[in-house]
Every structure is written in structure tokens, then in C-alpha cells.
């Protein structure tokens, strides 16, 4: 498998090089030359297949010969070594729970897969690997957990000051060791700009293998296909599911569309956005506007310029009409988010985090307009990770053991202004 840049000004590379580089030198995103089609052998006895087998068969064509089958099978098994239950809430709506991994967020899958790929590659190369990542919430904790303690890999996690929850910050800044937490005095888009600038810095690239662990990196994005297939394995209704994805940087939705192009059956995808509505406006008008990020309850989705939307446009050959046939995008306000959290708790005794609430509301609205539709939304993180949930719902059963584990950690974070020179100086000082 070869990967080209969405900007088409960098040479094609294999999987290993795409993972190590993170981002092409022309500032685009790596994209596979072909989307593999799953054959009839994949679907034979599908419901009886193990998660590990499904994951291996999905990812193998993307990896090619860059990782041997034994190690790839091991990496897949370690990446999906927890549950992904599809929970029925009503006769038309299910929740796909993606928070049963070590940091209670969907990003555990991609972070664990990528970290193990890089660890495998680190044994073959002579330069130190430096991972740099921007996070608006859960990515940071998942990356920190996935890479913590790995020899030969230094990690820098950038997050916006005051715009992640206490639990999220503790997951990022409470480890130390090879995990460097960088608190940026700005928003997520400024963190992401710093990461992209670093990835394009030829001086740093000469000295290190510099890569990203955001969904910019193809090894973070591709394994997120796995749990869409795990959900379909549990789908027992005869109606094709509509899949609703809380969307910020659009990596999760992009992975779902990759899965669909490979053969995953579904009726429609819905991008459930918060007040950061650039993509809903684009799908309505065809105009991509430039506006600053807005702070919301669903903070991990507070992104004004979602980088992975370039890959989604590539999937549909930049044909807006084709894209609209498969994808809808809606904006859900904080008021609607709070109302939905209370309603779902009252009617189903189910606790949504703010991101899942955005997904539930968007799917509910779609089903109201399309009465025959049924589907599931992605519940992307455990509600305990968000300080707002208890304020909105009051007391509810939570994971006290999880909170206790983090309460004894001391936060260690470097605070900087959103100035690339300061970040580069920090990277040089730490390595």
C-alpha cells in the first residue's frame, strides 16, 4: 500500500514511512492510494469472529509488508483488548460505548495501535522518535497512556490552558517520564498550528524522527475503523443503521467512512457538531468559512478548522453532491446538550457525556425527520471525565476507583505562549 499527500506535492510513501513522518512535507495529509474492499471471506461467519481477527483483517491491506503478520496480530490484539458494547436505549437508538479502555475514551484504540507500531519501527531505525500531538481533550490522555515508558520515544502533548477537564489534564500531565505536557495559552487550533509547524521543521527532522499522534497520523486514524465493525457485529435489526458521530477534528467520522467504503453496511452518516459549525455550513452552502473556535460543554469538539475533513473530501473526489448523499452535518447548542443529558438520564437512566449528548440529539432529530430510520451514536468518552456532568445531572453512579487512581498524581506541565520558537526551544531542551 502506498500513501500520497492530499496536497499532491510530496512523494508517495509506504505505511512505515507515512507513520514515521506523520505528515507530508507539503503540509497535506497521507491518504491511501486505494481503499481495500472486504471480500466474502471476511463476512463469512462474521458474527462469530473475534475482535482481534476482525481488526487484523481490516488493517492488514493498509500495512502491507511493513509489519510482519505475527507482530501485526499482536498489535491488533493489544489495541482492542477491552469491550465495545452496543447498548440499546430505545426501539430506534443505540449507544456504541467506546470508553471501556484504559483512559475511558475512544482514542485508546488509535493511540495504542500507533504507539505499538512506532515501538516496532523504533527497533529498526537509528534516530530517536519524537511524537508531538495537539489535544482538545481525550487524545492527550490516550496518547500519554499509550506511549508512556516506551524506550526510544519522547512525547510532547500540547493542550489549551483552561479548556480541558481536570481528569483530562491529569491524564496528560500526571505521568512524567517520557511524556511532556505542554499547556498552551490559546485554543486548540493554536496548539494544532504549533504541531503542524514542528512537523514541517526540516532542522528538527534532520535530528529526529518527528511524527504526530493526532489523527493527522494515518496510524491513529485507520484503526478507528475497528469499532464500527464491532458495532455492526452486534447490530441485530434488519434496518441498515444510521451512524451518528460526535465530530470535532473529523478523524472518527473519517474512519467510519473508510470502513463504509471498504464494505461496512450503513444507511447514512451524521456529523454531530456543537456550536463550531463550519462543516454544517459547508454542507449547506458549499462555502468553507473561517471563524474562531467557540468554547462549549463538548470541549473535545471545539475545533474551528477540522484537518481530517480534507481526507473526507478526498474520499468523495471533492464532489459535494456525492458527499451530501452519504453525510449530513448538524450543529447542536449547549442548551440542547444539557436538555438531552437530562432527558436521557430521566427516561433511560443512562448518563451521557456532553459529546455523546450531541450525538444522541443529532440522531434523534434525524430519526424524527426520517421515521423509518434506526441507528447508533458513538458515546466517545466516559462521563466521569467531564466536570460538567455532575453539575448538570447531580449525583450518579460513577467509577470511583478510576478517580482515586488519578487523585494522587502531581501535575507536571510546561506553560508556553502559542509561539513556535518557545515550543522548539522546549523540545531541544528536553531531548
pLDDT tens readout for residues 84-96: 999 999 999 999 9
Per-residue pLDDT for 403 more than 80? no
For the ranges 177-191, 231-245, 257-271, 313-327, which has the lowest average pLDDT? 177-191
pTM above 0.85? yes
Could you tell me which residue, 431 or 126, shows the higher pLDDT?
A: 431
d(CA 271, CA 250): 8
Angstrom distances, CA of residue 395 to CA of 118, 166, 351, 379, 389: 41, 18, 11, 20, 9
> What is the percentage of the chain residues whose pLDDT exceeds 90?
70
Helix (H) or strand (E) holding 30: strand 30-32
Under DSSP, the state recorded for 381 is B
Per-residue pLDDT for 138 more than 60? yes
Per-residue pLDDT for 258 more than 60? yes
Beta-ladder partners of 182: 158, 414
**pLDDT mean across residues, the chain:** 92
Under DSSP, the state recorded for 384 is G
**CB 379 within 8 Å of CB 359:** yes
d(CA 325, CA 321): 6
**CB 33 within 8 Å of CB 2:** yes
Under DSSP, the state recorded for 301 is G
Helix (H) or strand (E) holding 94: strand 93-97
Most confident of 55-69, 107-121, 392-406: 55-69
Average pLDDT of 240-252? 96
**CB 113 within 8 Å of CB 76:** yes
- Give the chain's end-to-end CA distance (angstroms, integer): 33
DSSP 3-state of 5: strand
Residues 6+ apart with CB under 8 A from 293: 187, 188, 189, 276, 302, 303, 304
* Other residues' Cβ atoms within 10 Å of the Cβ of residue 158: 29
Q: Is 340 exposed, middle or buried (0-12, 13-18, 19+ CB in 10 A)?
A: buried
Per-residue pLDDT for 147 more than 80? yes
- 107 flagged as catalytic: yes
Per-residue pLDDT for 399 more than 70? no
Confidence of residue 206 (pLDDT cuts 50, 70, 90): confident
DSSP string covering 285-340, please? HS----------SSGGG--SS-TTHHHHHHHTTT-HHHHHHHEEEEE--HHHHHHH
Of 49, 51, 92, 107, which residue is the catalytic one? 107
Domains of the chain: 82-104+221-398 (3.40.50.1100)
d(CA 114, CA 296): 29
Per-residue pLDDT for 397 more than 70? no
d(CA 111, CA 140): 9
Where do runs of H (alpha helix) occur along 84-222? 107-122, 138-147, 166-173, 188-199, 202-207, 218-221
pLDDT value for 54 = 98
DSSP string covering 144-178, please? HHHHTT-TTEEEEEEEETTSS-HHHHHHHHS--TT
Could you tell me which residue, 27 or 362, shows the higher pLDDT?
A: 362
> What is the percentage of the chain residues whose pLDDT exceeds 70?
96
pLDDT value for 401 = 56
Per-residue pLDDT for 150 more than 90? no
Per-residue pLDDT for 405 more than 60? no
Average pLDDT of 374-394? 91
Most confident of 44-58, 123-137, 168-182, 195-209: 44-58
Average pLDDT of 398-422? 73
Q: Is 63 exposed, middle or buried (0-12, 13-18, 19+ CB in 10 A)?
A: buried
Q: Tell me which residue of 149, 210, 156 sits closest to 182, measured CA to CA.
A: 156
Per-residue pLDDT for 110 more than 90? yes
pLDDT value for 34 = 96
- The phi, psi pair for 164, rounded to 5°, reads -125, 160
**CB 82 within 8 Å of CB 105:** no
Helix (H) or strand (E) holding 382: none
pLDDT value for 167 = 80
Could you tell me which residue, 215 or 240, shows the higher pLDDT?
A: 240
Confidence of residue 218 (pLDDT cuts 50, 70, 90): very high
Average pLDDT of 333-348? 97
Per-residue pLDDT for 402 more than 70? no
What digits encode the pLDDT tens for the residues 171-204?
A: 899 889 999 999 999 988 899 899 989 988 889 8
What digits encode the pLDDT tens for the residues 297-327?
A: 998 898 888 999 999 999 999 999 999 999 9
pLDDT value for 199 = 84
pLDDT value for 178 = 92
Amino acid at each position: 500500500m502506498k500513501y500520497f499527500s492530499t496536497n499532491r506535492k510530496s512523494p508517495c510513501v509506504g505505511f512505515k514511512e507515512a507513520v514515521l513522518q506523520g505528515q507530508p512535507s507539503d503540509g497535506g495529509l497521507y491518504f491511501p492510494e486505494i481503499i481495500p474492499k472486504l471480500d466474502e471471506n471476511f463476512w463469512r461467519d462474521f458474527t462469530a469472529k473475534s475482535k482481534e481477527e476482525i481488526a487484523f483483517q481490516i488493517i492488514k491491506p493498509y500495512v502491507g509488508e511493513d509489519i510482519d503478520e505475527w507482530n501485526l496480530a499482536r498489535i491488533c490484539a493489544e489495541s482492542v483488548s477491552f469491550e465495545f458494547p452496543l447498548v440499546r436505549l430505545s426501539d430506534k437508538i443505540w449507544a456504541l460505548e467506546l470508553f471501556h479502555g484504559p483512559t475511558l475514551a475512544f482514542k485508546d484504540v488509535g493511540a495504542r495501535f500507533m504507539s505499538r507500531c512506532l515501538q516496532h519501527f523504533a527497533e529498526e531505525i537509528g534516530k530517536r522518535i519524537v511524537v508531538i500531538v495537539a489535544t482538545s481533550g481525550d487524545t492527550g490522555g490516550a496518547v500519554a497512556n499509550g506511549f508512556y515508558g516506551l524506550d526510544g520515544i519522547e512525547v510532547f502533548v500540547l493542550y489549551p490552558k483552561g479548556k480541558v477537564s481536570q481528569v483530562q489534564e491529569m491524564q496528560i500531565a500526571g505521568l512524567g517520564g517520557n511524556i511532556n505536557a505542554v499547556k498552551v495559552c490559546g485554543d486548540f487550533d493554536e496548539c494544532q498550528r504549533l504541531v503542524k509547524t514542528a512537523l514541517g521543521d526540516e532542522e528538527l527532522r534532520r535530528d529526529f524522527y518527528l511524527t504526530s499522534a493526532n489523527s493527522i497520523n494515518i496510524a491513529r486514524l485507520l484503526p478507528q475503523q475497528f469499532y464500527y465493525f464491532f458495532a455492526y457485529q452486534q447490530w441485530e435489526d434488519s434496518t441498515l443503521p444510521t451512524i451518528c458521530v460526535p465530530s470535532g477534528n473529523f478523524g472518527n467520522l473519517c474512519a467510519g467512512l473508510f470502513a463504509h467504503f471498504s464494505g461496512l453496511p450503513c444507511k447514512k452518516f451524521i456529523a454531530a457538531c456543537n456550536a463550531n459549525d463550519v462543516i454544517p455550513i459547508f454542507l449547506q452552502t458549499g462555502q468553507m468559512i473561517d471563524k474562531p473556535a467557540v468554547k462549549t460543554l463538548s470541549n473535545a469538539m471545539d475545533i474551528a478548522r477540522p484537518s481530517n475533513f480534507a481526507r473526507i473530501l478526498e474520499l468523495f473526489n471533492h464532489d459535494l453532491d456525492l458527499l451530501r448523499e452519504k453525510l449530513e452535518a448538524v450543529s447542536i447548542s449547549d442548551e440542547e446538550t444539557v436538555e438531552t443529558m437530562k432527558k436521557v438520564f430521566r427516561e433511560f437512566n443512562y448518563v451521557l457525556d456532553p459529546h455523546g449528548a450531541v450525538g444522541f440529539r443529532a440522531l434523534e432529530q434525524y430519526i424524527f425527520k426520517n421515521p423509518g430510520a434506526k441507528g447508533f451514536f458513538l458515546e466517545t468518552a466516559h462521563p466521569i471525565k467531564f466536570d460538567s456532568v455532575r453539575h448538570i445531572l447531580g449525583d450518579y453512579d460513577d467509577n470511583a476507583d478510576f478517580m482515586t487512581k488519578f487523585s494522587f498524581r502531581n501535575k507536571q506541565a510546561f506553560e508556553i505562549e502559542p509561539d513556535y520558537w518557545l515550543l522548539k526551544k522546549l523540545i531541544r531542551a528536553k531531548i
